[in-house]
Amino acid sequence: MTVQLIRGDITKVEADAIVNAANSSLLGGGGVDGAIHRAGGPNILEECRAIVARQGKCKTGEAVITSGGNLPAKYVIHTVGPVWNGNPKEDELLANAYINSLKLAIEHGIKTIAFPNISTGIYRFPKERAAEIALDAVLDFPMIGEKLDKVVFVCFDEENFNIYNEMLK
């Protein structure tokens, strides 16, 4: 499995799935969530609404899947990271967001997946701590190397890019 690090906009990434750092309502918001819905078009929001109507809100650490709408990616996996308050439970919830996204991806036969730096924007999770949790969750996922062909970590800001770059060395 290839692990790739890029700096840029996840909406432009060609992968089977990109992951969205959503909120529990699944109805869109700012940050990467806003960018994905803007670039992906209204069908993604329609699918999110249908999911909420069927199974309720998406709890922190859980994930749901929609099509990629107008995006180059075939699917969007919407997950909800924790808001950072400094409670140790938040580490586990952040790990769950990555793990549950991977589980859903594998269930759908996805081979290439791109992650943003979940929770490190509006939800204020410390970036270094979040990167460590993200890398551990993904790289230690059972049999990941056999299940996926490529994982891309997409850093939008320079600070996250530098942190990932150091940790991946």
Just list the catalytic residues: 33
**DSSP of 93-107, one letter per residue?**
HHHHHHHHHHHHHHH
Based on the shown chain and the rule CB under 6 A, indicate whether residue 69 belongs to the binding site for ligand AR6: no
| Position 23 contacts ligand AR6 (CB under 6 A) | yes
Q: Which of residues 116-145 bind ligand AR6 (CB under 6 A)?
A: 116-123
Of 66 and 160, the one with the shorter C-beta distance to ligand AR6 is 160
Tell whether residue 73 is a contact of ligand AR6 (CB under 6 A).
no
**Distance (Å) of CA 49 to CA 28, 53, 82:** 10, 6, 21
Q: Are strands 75-80 and 2-7 parallel, antiparallel or unpaired?
A: unpaired
Q: Which stretch in 23-31, 48-56, 143-151, 161-169 sits in contact with ligand AR6 by CB under 6 A?
A: 23-31
By CB under 6 A, the count of residues binding ligand AR6 is: 25
Nearest in space to 17 (alpha carbons), one of 97, 143, 111:
111
